[in-house]
């Protein structure tokens, strides 16, 4: 199957990240890469627990605490991320030689673009909305590759399906047990 619109958009975004990383350099691009990876890998698991805790706090004290807790968590996490980014950028400036900063920055920018594009493609493919699912998960070469490799890897690592469906690894094993 030939690449479609989603594949072209992913390629353009990765190339944009590569160009931006080349222009900005490694010390500025490394914190962005680490921040994006941390947001994807920790956020995708923590969002379920955070939603449960906010719902529990809202039930316990009324909706006021839940209403105030969500923006408070966002502000605190943004402040922590800013502090972490400045420390990581200073560390990258110290350890990355001057002659390799542009090339390393381009690689980090491309990886960041690939990670964010992969997250968007998997999220849209898991949306459950037919036309969006088909465009991102079935008609896209990038999406099919992610759904055949990354989604089963995530399911086997966590032991939980990304979504309860007949084609998930957990659903196949539990159906075989019965």
Quick: pLDDT tens for 128-146. 777 887 888 888 888 888 8
Say if residues 121 and 142 touch (Cβ distance below 8 Å): yes
Which tens digit of pLDDT belongs to each residue from 42-95?
665 555 556 666 666 666 666 555 556 656 666 776 777 778 888 888 888 888
Domain boundaries, the chain: 5-177
Are 47 and 121 in contact by the 8 Å Cβ rule? The answer is no
Q: pTM score > 0.75 for this model? A: no
- pLDDT tens digits, 10-39: 999 999 999 999 999 999 898 888 888 877
Quick one: average pLDDT of 114-133? 82
The answer to whether 168 and 158 are in contact (CB under 8 A) is no
Give the up-direction half-sphere exposure of residue 90: CA atoms within 13 A in the CB hemisphere: 6
Alpha-helix runs per DSSP H in the chain:
5-24, 26-61, 63-95, 101-125, 130-133, 141-158, 169-177
pLDDT band at 169 (very low <50, low <70, confident <90, very high): very low
pLDDT value at position 103? 92
């Amino acid at each position: 199957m030939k690449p479609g619109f989603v594949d072209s958009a992913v390629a353009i975004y990765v190339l944009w990240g590569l160009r931006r990383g080349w222009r900005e350099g490694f010390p500025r691009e490394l914190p962005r890469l680490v921040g994006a990876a941390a947001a994807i890998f920790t956020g995708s698991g923590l969002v379920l627990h955070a939603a449960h805790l906010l719902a529990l706090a809202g039930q316990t004290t009324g909706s006021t605490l839940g209403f105030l807790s969500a923006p408070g968590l966002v502000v605190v996490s943004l402040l922590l991320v800013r502090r972490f980014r400045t420390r990581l950028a200073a560390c990258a400036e110290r350890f990355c030689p001057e002659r390799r900063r542009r090339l390393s920055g381009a690689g980090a920018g491309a990886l960041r673009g690939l990670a964010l594009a992969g997250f968007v493609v998997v999220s849209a493919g898991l949306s459950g909305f037919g036309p969006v699912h088909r465009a991102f998960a079935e008609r896209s070469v990038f999406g099919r590759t992610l759904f055949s490799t990354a989604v089963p890897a995530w399911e086997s690592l966590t032991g939980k399906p990304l979504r309860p469906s007949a084609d998930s690894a957990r659903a196949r094993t539990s159906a075989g047990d019965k």
